[in-house]
Amino acid sequence: MAEDDPFADLGETLEDEPDDEPQDTDEATEPETTGETSARDSVEPRDPMTDTAFSYEAAKQRPFYAREATIEDFDSWLKYELERELNQQGYQNIVVREMTDALLRTVVEEDLVDEVAEQFEQARESASSESTE
């Protein structure tokens, strides 16, 4: 049955990302909301340098498929370029879900259709030329 499951390999990917676990145990035990704000919000303001932008529960996990080399390059860029940059800017408690969310929002908001289409075309052309050799 696992061979028919398109998500069977998802666990392998998730095992490589342990730093995306909820860091703040208070998130799971946040008090009930009373009125417009919760008791936690009125007592303790959020610090953008240390508090995550959204909870683990608010994220929707979606699998994606790419070549192994592309995923390795992406993971390396995420960990050693983006995370390092954010850390140098003073951010703490950096989690994969926030970096991925920011990346996806950037692709959409910066309207990178032409750039993505160009990468797509290059991959197709490269694969085509490799098959004729």
What mean pLDDT do residues 98-116 have?
93
Closest CA relative to residue 75, chosen from 48, 56, 49, 103: 103
- Please give the Cα distance from 116 to 113 (Å, whole number): 5
What mean pLDDT do residues 35-60 have?
74
SS3 73: helix
Do 39 and 31 touch, CB atoms closer than 8 A?
A: yes
**Reported pTM:** 0.59
Per-residue pLDDT tens digits for 57-103:
888 888 889 999 999 999 999 999 999 999 999 999 999 999 999 99
What mean pLDDT do residues 13-32 have?
43
SS3 33: strand
